Structures are given as C-alpha cells and as structure tokens.
Amino acid sequence: MSEQVHAMAVRAREAAQRLAGVSTAVKNTALEAMAEALCAHEPEILAANAEDVSAAQERGTAGAMIDRLTLTPARIAAMADGLRQIASLPDPVGEILEGWRRPNGLEIQRVRVPMGVIGVIYESRPNVTADAAGLCLKAGNACLLRGGSEALRSNAAIARRLAEAGERAGLPPNSLQLIESPDRETARALMRLNGLVDLLIPRGGAGLIQSVLENATVPVIETGTGNCHTYVDPTADLDAALEIIVNAKCSRPSVCNAMETLLVHEVIADEFLPMVEERLAAQGVELRGCPRACEYLSSAIPATEEDWKTEYLALILAVRVVDSLDEAIAHINAYGTRHSEAILTEDYSAAQRFLREVDAACVYVNASTRFTDGYEFGFGAEVGISNQKLHARGPMGLRELTTHKYLIRGSGQIRG
C-alpha cells in the first residue's frame, strides 16, 4: 500500500512540474469543465453516495456524521459553484512579490510559484474532494487526496469525473489523484513522503490533526480550533456591543470563528450583563459564569477552569468579569487558541494596546469575530483558517497554497 502511495506521489510530482507552466486560461477552463462534469454526472455521484450512506447506516453511524456524508442535488450544485468561483479568482502564480538590483548588477526578483504537490487528508464530507482539488489546481499544484473510508465511493466518483474533465481541458495527467485505499497505512505513507509532497493539509477534527502532527515528517499546515473571545471595555457603545455579541455567538455557533467566552470589565458588569443575558436567553444560549459574573446573570451556572479552555461550537457562552484591560489580555493570551479576538471600546489607547498585545491571527476592534473567513476578507474560497504562525496565519486562500522562488539575472558575476 505505501508503495502504491509512493508511486502516486511520483506521478503527482511529474504532473506538478508540468502544471507550473499551465496558463491561467487553461486552468480556468479546466475548473469550469470540472464543474460541468459534476452536474453532468450527478446521478452517478448520488448513486455512489447512496451506497456510502447505506453502509454507514448499517454500521450504526451517528446522525450528524450521516448528514456530513450525504450528498443531494443541491450539495452537488454547490460543489460545482465552488469550482466556478475558484475559476473566477485571480491566479496567484507569477506575481512578482519584490525585486531589486544589487551593487554588483545582479537583478533579483522574488516570484510567486506553486508549492508543487499538496496532500490533503480529510474526513467524511465528500465536498472537500472538489473544494480542495479546485484550490490546489488553481494555484498550480498537483494534489493527492485521501478522504475518509466511509466516503470512499462518493469521493472516487467525484474525483474520477473531476480528473477526466480537467485532463480533457488541458491539465496534465495525474494532476488530481485520490488514494482509494483510505486505511491508516496510506495516511501514514502520505505523511512521510519527504521530497515528493511539499505540503500536507489535514482537514478534520482534533484527532486527525493530532495524528498528523505526531506522524508527519513533511511540512504541515494545521487548520485549527477557535476559542475566540470578545472583551467589552467600560467605554464601549453597549447597544452596538449587544448586537456584536449576539452575532459572534449565535449567527453560526458551530464554526471556529464563533465567540466562546465573553469578558466584561467590572465597572459595566452590573449594567451590561443583564442586558446580555436577556438577549442571549432569547436565542437559547446557556451561560457559564465566573463568581462575579454569576452575581449579575441569574441563569448562569458556575464556570470551571475547563470552560475557559473549551471551544463549545454550540449555544453555550462562558462569561468572566475582569478588573482591567490587562486582565482581559492576559486571559486571552492564556486561554485563546490564537484565532480571532475582539475588543469593543471607544477608548483609543485601549484599542491600540489590544491590537498590539493580543497574540492571535485576527484581532478586531468593534466588530464580530465571525468575519474571520476567506470570503469576508476578500480572498474568495479558502482551505481553512490557520492558527499556526508559520507560512499561513488566518484565512488560507489560493495565495497560501503557493511558495516563492528567487530569480537572479546576471551578466557573469562571480563572488569575491
């Protein structure tokens, strides 16, 4: 098995060398053709998916997992739309990032180029097959996809049609390959193909990401968890703050940029916390408070140390009263996952300090943390939100799937 994955990676590297020279026009035509192929082969993809779903049901798989696994005509159309949107994004490859001339006359340019071969390990959602392939290919990379075993038939049907359509439109053969034996051995092999795989992206839960961190020897980008905070300063506009808090907690509680802990300065706690409670109660949010917060929140249960660390991804909010901006920043830097953090304030110096001292991918003043997203930032489709610091931090779009090289044009220079 691991030899088979190695052979696929060798083919992917050959494809990557050719892909790096494929024009934007051909890549876009291929993405459009791939979108059409998904629509044209909808019955075949739905039939493969139905087999996956019924096998999962027979194994007694939980409902939420079945939901993630299930494709519908609308979900297939959404995959196709995603590919068309990727086609419409600017091509990052070829951008001259900087350039200068050295005293000896050497002309140095730093130019954006594809990574090469990108591996993606993901779990049960078959739409990742199309999303990840589209982003990798647009950025000029060959991709090696390894989805979850429960979605194998669906992924195989999607990948086959995408690969066919892409190749017919001019992409090199093997630009997109799916590993069709999704067992531990193939995953582990993919994690250790140094020299063949330039970047590995795990997309899934904490268990998958931990396994990749433990086993991978190739470079990895983690797309991570978001234990996001909002801190309400004494000078905040409390009406605006209420709207932001409701938005950050309730607009989509299951995503990584949703707020998980609210920090409120003590001088406004008695006025503001009952307002918060009333608005969040109407949305069905459960509150867990520090002892002082519980004085003002009649429905709150006491928060434990564990609550400050937890990414609920649900309609639960931890609430803590703090004495100062310092205490708020210290809490966030201690418990946050360096994803998205907000201060609500009208105090210029407090805003400046928060922006400077909070260590996170995205730091907000007077806005909802829910904006941390490739589309909302203006990047278009994204691979995920990175909360590591190396290479990519924050929303990862096409640009983060590229690297650079230095081109140096000389006229006979030698080093003295």
Q: At 102, is the secondary structure helix, strand, or coil?
A: coil
- Spatial contact of 406 and 110, defined as CB atoms under 8 Å apart: yes
Q: In what order do the strands lie in the sheet with 259-265?
A: 301-302, 286-289, 316-322, 259-265, 228-232, 340-344
Nearer to its own copies, 308 or 364 (CB): 364
Nearer to its own copies, 29 or 366 (CB): 366
- Spatial contact of 172 and 18, defined as CB atoms under 8 Å apart: yes
**Smallest distance from the beta carbon of 164 to its own copies, in angstroms?**
27
Amino acid sitting at position 376: E
- Spatial contact of 5 and 46, defined as CB atoms under 8 Å apart: no
Amino acid sitting at position 190: L
Nearer to its own copies, 154 or 386 (CB): 386
Nearer to its own copies, 295 or 346 (CB): 346
**Smallest distance from the beta carbon of 21 to its own copies, in angstroms?**
6
Nearer to its own copies, 86 or 197 (CB): 197
Give the separation between CA 233 and CA 248, rounded to whole angstroms.
Answer: 17
Burial 41-62 (b: 16+ CB within 10 A, else e): bbeebbebbeebbeebeeeebe
**Smallest distance from the beta carbon of 392 to its own copies, in angstroms?**
8
The CA-based dihedral angle spanning residues 366, 329, 285, 308, taken in that order and rounded to the nearest 10 degrees: 160
**Smallest distance from the beta carbon of 91 to its own copies, in angstroms?**
15
Nearer to its own copies, 53 or 396 (CB): 396
Nearer to its own copies, 50 or 371 (CB): 371
Which residues make up the interface to its own copies (CB under 8 A)? 17, 20-21, 100, 102, 106, 108, 115-116, 194, 198-199, 213-214, 217, 219, 221, 237, 240, 243-244, 246-248, 251, 333, 351, 355-357, 359-368, 370-372, 376-378, 388-391, 393-394, 403-415
**Smallest distance from the beta carbon of 218 to its own copies, in angstroms?**
9
Cα-only R_g, the chain:
24
- Spatial contact of 394 and 362, defined as CB atoms under 8 Å apart: yes
**Smallest distance from the beta carbon of 186 to its own copies, in angstroms?**
20
Amino acid sitting at position 55: A
Question: Which one-letter DSSP state was computed for residue 91?
Answer: P
**Smallest distance from the beta carbon of 389 to its own copies, in angstroms?**
4
